[in-house]
Amino acid sequence: MRLLVHQARQQYELTNYKLALKSAWYDFTAAWSTYKEGCAAGGIKMHKDLVRQYIELQALTIGPLAP
């Protein structure tokens, strides 16, 4: 997640909003899906703090585009 936040921030600084959106929304969502499917396949619960951090980071990174 930190890598995706870093990538989105770099793209925002370069005013390349299309690539910022890719990192902040599409790549975040893909990572979430992979984590969720992995937990389901392994029969384990998703970690509560990780879920909370995901929601917070995605909201913060997408905020400049969708206030």
* Predicted local distance difference test score (pLDDT) of residue 65: 85
pTM of the predicted structure, to 2 decimals:
0.79
Domain boundaries, the chain: 2-61
Mean pLDDT by 10 residues, the chain (67 residues): 92 93 92 94 94 93 86
Sequence-distant (6+) residues with CB within 8 A of 58 are 24, 25, 28
The pLDDT value recorded for residue 20 is 92
CB atoms within 10 A of CB 19: 14
| Amino acid 67: pLDDT | 72
Structure tokens given for 48: 């509560």
Closest CA to 66 of 28, 30, 37: 28
CA dist 4 and 22 (Å) reads 9
Q: Supply 65's token pair.
A: 């585009």
